Structures are given as C-alpha cells and as structure tokens.
Structure 1
Amino acid sequence: MTVLNRLAGWISDLRLAIALLLVIAVASGVGTVIPQKEPEGLYHQLYDAEPWLGLLQGDGILALQLDHIYSSDWFLALLAWLALSLLLCSWRRQWPALRAALNWIDYRSPRQLSKLSVAETRLCGETAEGLDLDRLARILQSEGWQVQCRPSRLAARKGVLGRVGPLLVHAGLVVLMLGAAWGVLGGHRAEQFLAPGRSLELLDSRGQHQLTLALEAFTVERDPAGRPEQFTSALRLLEGGPSSETLLKQASISVNHPLRFRGVTFYQADWGLAAITVQLGGSPLLQLPLQSFPQLGDQVWGLVLPTRPDGSDPVLLSLSSEQGPVDVYDAKGANLGQIVVGGDPLDIRGLPVRVASVLPASGILLKRDPGVPLVYGGFAVALLGGGLSLLATRQLWAITEGGRLHVGGLCNRNLTAFATELPRLLDAALQSGEQEPEPQQG
C-alpha cells in the first residue's frame, strides 16, 4: 500500500504535471511546423535532402510518428498520463480541501484563535459580551457570510464556492482531453475537389450511404491585382437514391464560414481548376480535364494537347486562374503565345485553338469529429472553474471571554485585504454597541 501511495503521490505531483504540459505544448508546436497526415513520399521529398533540424530525414519523421503527431501513440499516452495526474491530484488534494472547507470547525479557546493567520482582541466589557457577538454575527450575515453561532462564540465563512474552482478546472481539462482523444480516434477527415454540377456520395462508418453532397456553384472573389481573396461554394445536401433524392439542406460556405450538419462539418479549404473547354479549328466544344503541375509553380494547372490527328506535335496549355490567360508552350518549352479565355483563337502551327471557358473546382474539407461537444464542454467547465478559483475563501471565528472579544481568521488568498477587513468588522460591531441607547429607569 505504501508503494501505491508513493506512486500516486509522484503521478499527482505538480512539477510532473507542469513538465507534461510543456512536453505536450512542444509536441503541438512541432505539429504546426511539420505537415501532418501527408503521403509518405512528401516527407522524403522535404527532409531527405535537408533533414529537419539537421537531424531527422524522412524515415526518422515517419518512425517517430511526427507525420501524425496528434494521433500518435506517444502523444495520446501523454494526454492519458496528464489526465491521470489531474484525477489523482483532485482525489488526493482538491477533494479533501473542499470537504475541509465545508466542515464547520469549532474553536473553543482564545489561544487557538491567536495561532491563526489573522488574530485580534478587543475589549468589550463583561456585560456586553453577548451583545457584541450578536452584532458581529448580524454584520457578517449582512455582508454575505455564513454564520454559525454557539454560546459565547461563533464561526463564519465566506467564498466557500471558490474551493470548487480547482476541482472544476481539473475536471474540465480531463473532459477536454477525452474529447480530443475521441475526436482523433473516432473522427474522419477528407478533402475533395468538386466542380460545379457534380456531386459526392458520403458514406457512414459502415460503408452505407449517408448523404450526397452536390456543388451548385463556386465563385472566387479576387482583388484588383487578381489575387484570390475569398472562395464561396453553394452546396446542396441530399438524401436517398438517384431517383428519389430529398433535399435536406441548401447553404453556402466560404473561408471561416463552415457548414455543420449531422455531425459533419464542411469547410471551404481550397480551390483549383477542374476542366477547360477548348475548340480545335471547326470542332465542337471539348471539355477536357486539367491536372496540377507543381513543377511549374504553385497553383498551376495544365493540359497536354496534340495538334495533329496522329497525336504528334503536342503543346502544353497552362494557366493559374480561371480567368486566364492560357500560356501555350511547345515540346521544347518555347512560349508560342497566350489565349484569352472566351476570346479569339490562337493559331498554333496552322491549327486555330480557342479556349471557351475554364471550370474552377472547390476544395471542400469534410471533417467529422465526435469529440467536439466534449472539447467545448470541457473548455467551458475549465473556464468556470478558473473564474471560481479567483474567489477568496475566508473563515472567521470569534470568542468572548473575560470582557474581551477574541477574533481570528484564515484566508486562502489576498490575506492582506482580509487583515484590513477584520478590524473594520470589529469596529462596526463595537461602535454599534456604543451608539445603542441605554435602557431608561422607570
């Protein structure tokens, strides 16, 4: 039993909890620097040539689970350890402190009061002992103190609710960590690019049809310089099969304005270009898919297009915006000119090529996090506990003996203010007694 007590004492030690918080904070910071939940090849591409901090290459990043820190085994173990530390601290320290604050302590001797943090003795006269004690009790009650009176003595307390604060803080943090762990283990996250007029079928955890997400329209708002400022997607959420679909929700999402529906949150996360509509000579309009070319730069899309019926003499059409222009390059990388979207065709080696339109795509992030209610609830409880912890818990005892009024008290914070308040209470009690008129003789 002694070994268990020592182990519990070590786990609930404040210094250990602070160390765990620091480690968790550092790990969270690392998670903001290293990309999370990306393909393994990306980490080799980023860190094999230039190791992270000069120490870790791609294999090291993957071996230490730094590519998914928040769902890694060691990070979840740290959260569990911190939660256990908070629970043991609450059980060993905060709960006994609350019980002690709720129990009335009956001091019977003035010597006991003299040993308290704040103590004072005043003359009151043997004939007025009971009256002074009663007046002090009434003053304390008028100022919100709880008072318990006994013959020749009283006990009072104020701000006992503040003792609940640390317990609520610990409970809120534990609930918050449980919610975070549940969200990591039971949540789901996926990013999809959708073009207007297309839909995506959403499945539940059992692989059964849950919802259909349809994109009605997608717009990109740009500043005068052509830089994107805001992306907006008009969504429709449908239920049922293709022949009997029922509209459940119709709403628009944009950056920092997500949509939450049935436990799934839809974020406007990114944008792209899905397809380009071209006309080759006198051909009908052809809608061709675009692909990303990261080797040409960020947010560059393109299409390799043959200019001969046999597939020879290909050219590359590249663009970085749905507004164009479209740059044309030959197989050797030489620029052959630009095509204005919706404008006149460009003659490429005798073949007129016109770009009628460019279809943008909305990057929608779908996130299902069942732990969100627990995270918000735990945060609210922790905030409430932090506010209650600011309340000072004050205890006061008074004993009359031999024509003297002995008063002593305890306070868990701001003892200076309590030491100033105690003489004021005594002055008010004794001065009230001096102002009371003496009974007239009949």
Structure 2
Amino acid sequence: MAMLKRLAAWLSDLRLAIVLLLLIALSSAVGTAIPQGDPPVSYIDAYATSPWLGLLHGEEVLRLQLDHVYSSGWFLALLAWLGLALILCSWRRQWPALVAARRWIDYRTTRQLSKLAIAESQACPDPSQGLTQLETVLRASGWEVQRKSQRLAARRGAIGRVGPLLVHTGLVLLMLGAAWGALAGNRLERFLAPGRSLDLLDRDGSSQLTITLDRFAIDRDPAGRTEQFRSALKLQGPNQSLDVEISVNHPLRHRGITIYQADWSLATISLQIGRSPVLELPLQTYPELGDQIWGLVLPTRPDGTEPVFLSLDSEQGPATVFDADGQQIARLQPGGPAAEVKGLPMRVDSVLPASGLLLKRDPGVPLVYLGFAVLLVGGGLSLVATRQLWAIATDGTLSVGGLCNRNLAAFANELPQLVQQVVAASADPGQRHQQG
C-alpha cells in the first residue's frame, strides 16, 4: 500500500506533468516537420542522401514511427501517461481541496485565528453588535455566512476550486478525442477533375456518399500568383442531395466527414495535331523538373518516333514544347493559334485543372470540442479567488482571521479596512439604529 501511494505521488507530481507536456509538444513539432502518412518508399528516397536533421535516414524514420507520429504507440503512451497523471492529481489534490472549501470549519478561540495567514483584532465597544454588523456587510457582498453564538464563519468563491478539476477534465477529454481520432479516423486525398466523382463506401460495400466536382476555379492576383482555390461540389447520398462550395480555410463538415480544399493540379490537356480531332490527354507531374510542373511525352510520327515533351506550370499556359535534345521549339497558348512542331501544326485547345480534396473522418472531434469547452470554463473558474473568513466576539474585542488562495496581498489589505468599518459602525448609535 505504501508503495502504491509513493507511485501515485510520483505520477501526480507537477514536475513530471511538465516534462510530459514538453515531450508531447516536441513530438508534435516532429510530426509537423516530417510529412505524415506518405508511402514508406518516399521517406527512404527523401532521406537517402540528406538525413533528417543530419541524423535519421528513411529507415530510422520508419523504425521510430515518425511517419505517423500521432498514431504511434509511443505518442499514445505519452498521452495516456499524462492523462493518468492528471487524473491522479485531481483525485489526490484538487478533489480534497474542493471538499475542504465546501466544509465549514468552526474556530472557537482567538488563538486559533491568530495562526491564520491573515489575522486582525480591533477593540470594539459592543463586540456582539460588531459581529452582527460584520454578518450584514458580508452577506451584502455575496459571502456565505454561518452564524453561531459570539462567532461566525464566512466564505466566498468556493466555486473557484472547481476550476482546476475542470481544467484537468478538459485536458483528459482532449487527449481521449485525439487518441480516438488517431486510431479510428480515416484520411483520403484525391484529385478530381470537373465532372468526375468519388464514391465513399460504408462497411457493407454499398455507396454511402458520392462526391461530384461540378466546377473548379483558381483565383489569381494580377501577377498570376495563386490566391485561392474554389470547388463547387455536389454531394449525393441515400435520400439526400447537397450543393456546396468549399475553398482553402473554408471546409465542409457533413455527417462526420470533413472535406478540405487542399491542393490543385492539372488533369488533362486538349490538343489538336494536324487535322486530327481534339485529343484530351492526361498530364502527369514531373517533380524532378520542379514543384509544380506537369507535362506529357507525345510522339509526332505514326511509328512513335521523334517524340516531343510538353510542359506547363499552370492552367493558363503556355505549354512549352521541347525536342528530344531538350531544346525549346514552340510555345503554345491554350485557346491560341497553332504552331509548327516537327513539321506538324499543333494547337492547345484547353487545359483542365483538377481539385485536390482531402477527406477526413475523425470520430474524436466531438470529444475534442467538448474538452476545449470544459477547459475554457475551468480556466475561467480558476481565476476566481476562494476566500474564507472567521470572526470571534470576545470582551471588548472583535477578532477576525482569513485565508485566500489567490491574491493574498489584496485580501490582507481589505480585511483590516473591513474590520475598522464594522467597529466604527457598531460604535455609532445612529448607524446601529439604521441597521436595525
């Protein structure tokens, strides 16, 4: 039993909680710095020649579960450890403090009052009347008063003791919601071209929701820089249909699913070569050429020889054409005139952009929101000072003592003024008549 008490005392130690919070914050920073949820081969390739922070290659990143920090076993263990520490702290300290604040303590002698943090004694011609006057003043100021013969006890702000309990409860709810979301949540990233659809299936394999991209627009500034992406979506499910627009920082939350406007890409290019019909050809990314470079390799002869490479960096064009030696041979503006490429007229009719959608299902979100709400309420209540006051009337003396858990200096200045006011009022017959 003694060992369990020592273990509980160690687990609920404030210094340990601070260390755990620092470790969780550091782990979250690592999860922000390292891309999360990518295929394992991407980490091996990314950190093959330049290790992360000069220390970790891709294999070490995968071994330490840094590719999925927030759902890793060690991160969830840190959250569980911190949650246990908060629960034990609430049980061993905050709950007894609340119970003590709600319990009336009866001090019977002036010697007991003199041992309190704040104590004051004043000569009073009529101590009984002074005690009655003190009770009246305290009740008018919102104090709870328990009056007994020749003494009283009063308290105010006992609800402030609930604040730390609510703060701990809110933090535990936050961690439960985060852990639940990391373990049971789903994440899906897809690029959709206008007119294309994405089906979300339930566990039985039937369609739960169909997401169709009606329109996708990219807002640009006069210099051509991207400012905003907008997607007009149509959601269809059993007995429901919804038309909505999403953009960056303005996601859609629908039946437990959050749809974010995450990125954009180029889907297809429509070309006319010679007298051919307009051909819609898919584009692909070329990371080795740049972050946002799309293109395709196109043969110019029926036998597949003399290929050219078309590249674009936006849906506005132009499409730059290179030969097999990497020499630029033409620039084609979407919707513009044709240009000769390898002896053939080539024209770009249009370029179709694609919307990058990020879909998240996080069952822990309600718990996270509830945890934030409880945390805010608890933080506000924690600012309320809990004050306790006792007074004893003896022969010719009114003795008052008090305790306060917050801003003790202000209470120490306020209490003597209160006693002097009460003594002066009890000594004034007119004031006694007015109070009666």
What is the TM-score with the length of structure 1 in the denominator? 0.96
Q: Distance in 2 between matches of 1:22 and 1:115?
A: 40
Partner of residue 263, structure 1: 256
Q: Distance in 1 between matches of 2:314 and 2:79?
A: 44
Q: 1:343 aligned to 2:336? A: yes
Q: Distance in 1 between matches of 2:203 and 2:46?
A: 33
Partner of residue 117, structure 1: 117
Q: Distance in 1 between matches of 2:321 and 2:219?
A: 26
Aligned equivalent of 2:168, options 167, 170, 176: 170
Aligned equivalent of 1:399, options 375, 392, 395: 392
Matches within 5 A, 1:83-94: 83-94=83-94
Matches within 5 A, 1:383-422: 383-422=376-415
Contact 2:51 2:57 in 1 (8 A): yes
How far the C-alpha of 1:331 sits from its partner, in A, is 1.5
1:49–1:201 Cα change, 3 Å: same
Matches within 5 A, 1:346-361: 346-361=339-354
Partner of residue 36, structure 2: 36
**Deviation beyond 2 Å, 4+ runs, structure 1:** 204-208, 434-439
Partner of residue 327, structure 2: 334
Partner of residue 149, structure 1: 147
Percent identity, please.
62
Q: Distance in 2 between matches of 1:290 and 1:137?
A: 83
Partner of residue 277, structure 1: 270
Q: Distance in 2 between matches of 1:264 and 1:112?
A: 62
Q: What code does the residue aligned with 2:57 have?
A: Q
Q: What code does the residue aligned with 2:253 have?
A: R
Q: What code does the residue aligned with 2:38 have?
A: E
Partner of residue 234, structure 2: 236
Q: What code does the residue aligned with 2:73 have?
A: D
Q: Distance in 2 between matches of 1:207 and 1:436?
A: 88
How far the C-alpha of 1:46 sits from its partner, in A, is 2.0
How far the C-alpha of 1:434 sits from its partner, in A, is 2.5
Partner of residue 9, structure 1: 9
SS in 1 for 2:413: helix
Q: Distance in 2 between matches of 1:340 and 1:124?
A: 98
How far the C-alpha of 1:435 sits from its partner, in A, is 2.5
Q: What code does the residue aligned with 1:290 have?
A: L
Partner of residue 320, structure 1: 313
Partner of residue 132, structure 1: 130
Q: Distance in 1 between matches of 2:341 and 2:122?
A: 107
Partner of residue 222, structure 1: 220
State the Cα deviation string for residues 275-297 of structure 1 (Å, max 9, x = none). 01111111111111111111111
State the Cα deviation string for residues 295-326 of structure 1 (Å, max 9, x = none). 11111110111111111111111101111000
Equivalent pairs, count? 432
Partner of residue 248, structure 1: 241
Q: Distance in 1 between matches of 2:337 and 2:182?
A: 52
State the Cα deviation string for residues 174-199 of structure 1 (Å, max 9, x = none). 00000000111111111110000111
SS in 2 for 1:342: coil
How far the C-alpha of 1:380 sits from its partner, in A, is 1.3
My pick for the range that moved more, 110-119 or 41-50, is: 41-50
Q: Distance in 2 between matches of 1:116 and 1:28?
A: 46
How far the C-alpha of 1:206 sits from its partner, in A, is 4.5
How far the C-alpha of 1:95 sits from its partner, in A, is 0.3
Q: Distance in 1 between matches of 2:49 and 2:7?
A: 46
Partner of residue 76, structure 2: 76
Q: What code does the residue aligned with 2:114 have?
A: S
Contact 1:168 1:381 in 2 (8 A): yes
How far the C-alpha of 1:247 sits from its partner, in A, is 5.0
Aligned equivalent of 1:371, options 344, 347, 364: 364
Q: Distance in 2 between matches of 1:319 and 1:420?
A: 75
Q: What code does the residue aligned with 2:367 have?
A: L
SS in 2 for 1:257: coil
User: Any stretches of 5+ residues in structure 2 without a counterpart?
Assistant: none
Q: Distance in 2 between matches of 1:213 and 1:15?
A: 50
SS in 1 for 2:304: coil
State the Cα deviation string for residues 150-187 of structure 1 (Å, max 9, x = none). 00000000110110000000000000000000111111
State the Cα deviation string for residues 106-144 of structure 1 (Å, max 9, x = none). 00011000000000111113xx22211000000001011
SS in 2 for 1:375: helix
Q: What code does the residue aligned with 1:142 have?
A: A
Matches within 5 A, 1:184-223: 184-223=182-221
Contact 1:236 1:247 in 2 (8 A): no
Matches within 5 A, 1:38-57: 38-57=38-57
User: Any stretches of 5+ residues in structure 1 without a counterpart?
Assistant: 241-245
Contact 1:146 1:158 in 2 (8 A): yes
Q: Distance in 1 between matches of 2:50 and 2:312?
A: 31
